[in-house]
Amino acid sequence: MPFRAATTRSSALGMTLILLFAAACGKPAQQLKKVVRAARVRVPQIAATVVTQRTTLQPSNRTTVSTIVIGPDAARATDETGQWRLFDLKENRVAFVNDFAKTFRYESLQSLRDRYDDAADEPVSDKIPRAEFASTPERRVILGVAATRSIVKLGGYQREIWFGSHPLIPPQLFELMQASRAPSPDAAMTKRVDDALFDVRGFPLAEHSELPYANAKIIVDREVVSIDRKNVQATLLEIPADYREVKPARPVARPKPVAPPAAPAPEPPVMTITNPPATTSSVAAPAETTTQAEPKKPVEGKKPAATVMKASEKKAPEKKAPAKRKAPAKKKTTTTKKTSQSTWRTSPSRFVTPSRSKNSSNGIAILRESPKNSLNCPTSIVCPFFCDIASRAVAIVVRCT
């Protein structure tokens, strides 16, 4: 890290100056070693928990080692340089430190989770699959701690995480680390997984991820190798005093879709009933018109009160006119015109010429008794010329007889 490199260079320069000064004064080497030891002891140190993680990437067979330093009130990952995060365990917030601009800013855990929620509200098609998170009852012991297996799936991608609660690791550390990462463009697809990881109380002690790629499979294995108590430099968990604090940029509030106004409730239909005038022997009552909102249903168990009328007020019974019977409706008959067809031919007329038979001398006698024309009348299937054909056929028949 830059500030650590600067500290190392300054200490080396100081040791060089001390050696030159000692050489000029002619002091022995033993006294120089005492001075160097005293300079090292003066660097403030604190007791902290150091979590060592080992990550292996296949098929490239690449292995990296990283550490997480956890102090009494703060923690940080040592593999982040230039721009790094300092997790404030006491105030439950994260400090984003920039060594290049020498600035830092604080953001609370709630604001970080709100940022994820805003990113997850982006519209995504229903045809795109969503990542799924599931906890299983499988357990195993890792570094003396019982860990529970959880699975994350999205298409061909699968991630297996073993969560465990170690007494030296704060329970809210993983939530701060997860929420302080920048939301991905696919936050809407991974919303269920993000919400589940935020609610986990524990630390991932082992992970196994698989992703098919072309004809190979990318495999990432990460596990916690050791959890030890060590003395580290206090400056490792502190923000330099000459850094300037900046305020976090406020997220731009996106307009929420306005719901359409609710349709007004339909008014009940108004029914108009007109009573025809009653025909009496003496006085005819005028017609009455009443307006009702809705017909009321009769209440069961209650009978309408009977009205008692005096003998003088009773009306004479009305004579009903005999009902006239309606004549039965005539059934409509549909007639279809049939097109006349005939088998008479218009032309040509067939004639038979008598001749002597080659095989029998008596066969010619049949033709001598019949006329020269054939007994078969000409036929036709042409309808428009039916009349002409019929008259011609009659003439032929007459002539034949």
For the stretch 201-245, pLDDT in tens is: 899 999 999 998 888 899 999 999 999 999 999 999 999 999 999
20-24, 136-140, 144-148, 394-398: range with lowest mean pLDDT = 20-24
pLDDT score at 285: 45
Instruction: Assess whether 12 and 92 both reside in one domain.
Output: no
Q: What is the mean pLDDT of the chain?
A: 73
Number of domains in the chain: 3
For the chain, the 3-state helix, strand and coil shares in percent, each to the nearest 5, are 20, 30, 50
| Structural domain contains residue 139 | yes
What are residue 145's DSSP bridge partners?
142
Give residue 283's pLDDT: 43
| Average pLDDT rounded to a whole number, residues 247-266 | 60
Q: Specify if 147 maps to a domain.
A: yes
36 & 145 share domain: no
In this prediction the pTM is 0.54
Instruction: Give CA–CA dist 226/231, Å, rounded.
Output: 15
**Could you tell me if residue 309 is inside a domain?**
no
Percentage, residues of the chain above pLDDT 90: 39
Q: Both 77 and 20 in a single domain?
A: no
Residue 7 or residue 123, greater confidence: 123
Q: What is the pLDDT of residues 40-60, one digit of tens each?
A: 557 789 999 999 999 999 988
Judge if 100 and 30 occupy the same domain.
no
State whether 30 and 68 are in the same domain: no
pLDDT(148) > 80? yes
User: In which band, very low, low, confident or very high, does the pLDDT at 346 lie, cut at 50, 70 and 90?
Assistant: low
The confidence score (pLDDT) of residue 25 equals 54
Question: Which domain, by its residues, includes 232?
Answer: 44-245
Higher pLDDT, 370 or 167: 167
Same domain, 126 and 215: yes
Average pLDDT over residues 63-85: 94
Among residues 70, 101, 61, 66, the alpha carbon closest in space to that of 80 is found at 66
Return the pLDDT at 47: 94
Residue 231 placed within a domain: yes
Is there a single domain that holds both residue 103 and residue 236? yes
Phi-psi sector, 102: left (phi>0), alpha (psi -120 to 50), beta: left
> Is residue 128 located within the same domain as residue 58?
yes
Q: Do residues 113 and 140 share a domain?
A: yes
Domain boundary among 186, 220, 245: 245
Which CATH number does the domain housing residue 115 bear?
Answer: 2.50.20
Element (H, E) at 139: strand 132-142
The answer to whether residues 29 and 72 belong to one domain is: no
Q: What is the mean pLDDT of residues 168-183?
A: 93
Please indicate, yes or no, whether residues 69 and 121 belong to a single structural domain of this protein. yes
Q: Is residue 338 part of a domain?
A: no
Q: Is the pLDDT of residue 76 over 60?
A: yes
Q: In the predicted model, is pLDDT for residue 104 greater than 50?
A: yes
Neighbouring residues of 237: CB distance < 8 A, sequence distance ≥ 6: 46, 48, 69, 71, 74, 75, 76, 86
| Shared-domain flag, residues 192 and 136 | yes
- Helix then strand count (H, E) for the chain reads 7, 14
H or E element in which residue 353 lies: none
